[in-house]
Structure 1
Amino acid sequence: MADLLTIENLGNLLMLIFLQAVLGFDNLLYISIESQRAPVAQQRSVRFWGIVLAVALRIVLLFTMVELIGLLSEPFFILDFEGILTGGVNFATCVFIFGGIFIIHTAVQEIGHMLTIEKLDADLSDKGGKSAWKVIMLIVITNLIFSFDSVLSALAITDVFPLLAFAIILSGLAMLVLADGVTRFLEKNRMYEVLGLFILLIVGVVLLGEAGQAAAHAAHDPELALRVFGYEVVPMSKTTFYFSVVVLVVVEIIQSGYTRKLNTERRTGARH
């Protein structure tokens, strides 16, 4: 126990908590949006159990990664379709590709649903279209996909399992505290749900980009990077990702304010 109480471990813990908070934002956004697909009376319990199960499985994933990191990082297949598709494939590559496609599919499906509804009230009453357990399973699976990125990033900081587990538990508690508030905000400001879905779309693209370099980074061999039609698949930097998110939020805020101003002027003009 005394070995854990060092200045180095304290610094690593603070870094891990910050990392989990930053990387957990998109996860919390997904949980808040997806939980609204469950029956209204069960949405809060869906968020609670989805987060609790996801955090527990994230710790299991972390333990597995710590024990098997060498085996999981080695490429198990080499793509050699010259000029079309080349590069190495490891476990992380598969997770990132599956996760990126899954998240993009979810976001596009929900955006398409919003475009096809005829009445907003009908959409609101149709929120409970999925069973509670189905939504919980979707939240858990997606959380694990998001977790892979954060677990790999965390392992780059330290391999001390108690520190990693404590940071994950703290991030889970933070999600439990914030999930209801984020959901209530999205319900009152439904235009931000669209914004959230487009952010998830970008997250899916980010994960696909991470897949391109997963095997190369693990083996420290640039030649194992995925290349499609001769072009290397390069991940989006975190700076670019968060800049894109900030731009989307700012545009939405300005557009919402401008729309309210136009509606006010129209109402004033109609009265006169």
Structure 2
Amino acid sequence: MAELFSISGLSTLLVLILLQAVLGFDNLLYISIESKRVGEEGGKASMVRRWGIGLAVAFRIVLLIIIVSLFSVLAAPFLTIPLTGIFEAEFNLQSLVTLFGGGFIIYTAIKEISHLLAVDHIEHTEGNKKKSVVQAITMIVSMNLVFSFDSILSAMAIANTRNEAGEIEYQVWIMAVAIILSGIAMILLADHVAEFLKKNRMYEVLGLFILFIVGALLVSEGGHLAHMKVFGYEIHAIEKSTFYLVIFVLVVTDIISTKYQKRLWAQREAEIRSGGSEHAAAEAAEAAMRGKH
């Protein structure tokens, strides 16, 4: 615990908090989308977000301890598929969790996008297939653990030291404090993110596409961890820099497109009003001519 209050410990903690903030964005987006399924009555959605994040933080710390203690065991392959030239892979626990988690996120994003395109009244989309509070919290905690693998392994690469024997020792206390602080920040921000998406429904589709890309990122990472080859082609993980560049381009494109669309609608409404005024003036002039006769 004393290592936390040293200069190196505090600097490591700051780096880990920034890392958790960057990697936690996609998690926060999923929490906001999932929590709305319980409805807003009685503040249930907000309660789901708080409980979901709180329980997820507790389980993430437990997962951190397990991964640090059993790192070599978890990293060892236990399932090998040797179909040379067709499908090859060496699965360990991390690769399987990452693959299935990414696949489920892709499925969720596609399902939500399809639903938005299928409904007749957009304002009624939140009422479709409501979930119970327990179901929503369970999904939030489960997916948070999927996201945790990536963030914990990244944190382990940063928060470690070598003892006198030259062995690597992981700074579990520092990582645990970073997880708790990032969890508190997520609880404080979750309601604001959900409210923003509710008030700006045009960005909901953008959020779902970002979620889809997050799923693709996890699937590629799982395939890379499993040394997967499909028809002789090796699956490589999408670089984080590429991922954030794609997200940046998506957000900028959506913002510009939305502003341009609003200008087009404003121009169209002005033309309709102008056309209506000219039509009304023509009818008044015609009525006045008939009155004279």
Question: What is the match of residue 161 of structure 1?
Answer: 172
Work out whether 1:15 is the aligned partner of 2:15.
yes
CA distance in 2, matches of 1:209, 1:122: 35
Displacement of 1:3: 3.8
CA distance in 2, matches of 1:90, 1:39: 38
Work out whether 1:198 is the aligned partner of 2:193.
no
Going from structure 1 to structure 2, the CA distance change for 1:82 and 1:163 (only over 3 Å counts) comes to same
Displacement of 1:128: 7.0
Going from structure 1 to structure 2, the CA distance change for 1:66 and 1:147 (only over 3 Å counts) comes to same
* Matched-pair contact (CA < 8 Å) for 1:39–1:127: no
What amino acid sits opposite 2:191 in the alignment? Answer: D
What amino acid sits opposite 1:71 in the alignment? Answer: V
Counterpart of 2:46 (choices 41, 44, 47) is: 44
Question: What is the match of residue 134 of structure 1?
Answer: 135
Report the secondary structure of 1:36's partner residue: helix
CA distance in 1, matches of 2:50, 2:128: 18
Question: What is the match of residue 6 of structure 1?
Answer: 6
CA distance in 2, matches of 1:56, 1:127: 31
Displacement of 1:123: 2.0
Going from structure 1 to structure 2, the CA distance change for 1:3 and 1:246 (only over 3 Å counts) comes to closer
What amino acid sits opposite 2:256 in the alignment? Answer: I
Q: How many residues align?
A: 262
* Matched-pair contact (CA < 8 Å) for 1:79–1:85: yes
Deviations 1:78-136 (A, max 9, x none): 22100011132111110111111110011111111111101123324x15711111111
What amino acid sits opposite 1:117 in the alignment? Answer: V
Q: CA RMSD in A?
A: 1.3
Question: What is the match of residue 89 of structure 2?
Answer: 87
CA distance in 1, matches of 2:73, 2:22: 28
- Report sequence identity in percent: 51
Going from structure 1 to structure 2, the CA distance change for 1:138 and 1:180 (only over 3 Å counts) comes to same
Question: Gapped runs of 5+ residues in structure 2?
Answer: 160-169, 275-293
Question: What is the match of residue 263 of structure 1?
Answer: 265
CA distance in 2, matches of 1:245, 1:149: 18
What amino acid sits opposite 1:131 in the alignment? Answer: S
CA distance in 2, matches of 1:176, 1:8: 28
Question: What is the match of residue 184 of structure 2?
Answer: 173
CA distance in 2, matches of 1:3, 1:249: 40
CA distance in 1, matches of 2:140, 2:3: 36
CA distance in 2, matches of 1:148, 1:179: 21
CA distance in 1, matches of 2:135, 2:3: 43
* Matched-pair contact (CA < 8 Å) for 1:212–1:234: yes
- Normalised by the length of structure 2, the TM-score is 0.87
Question: What is the match of residue 222 of structure 1?
Answer: none
Displacement of 1:152: 1.1
Displacement of 1:226: 1.3
Which aligned pairs between 1:133-152 and structure 2 lie closer than 5 A?
133-152=134-153
Report the secondary structure of 2:70's partner residue: helix
Displacement of 1:2: 3.2
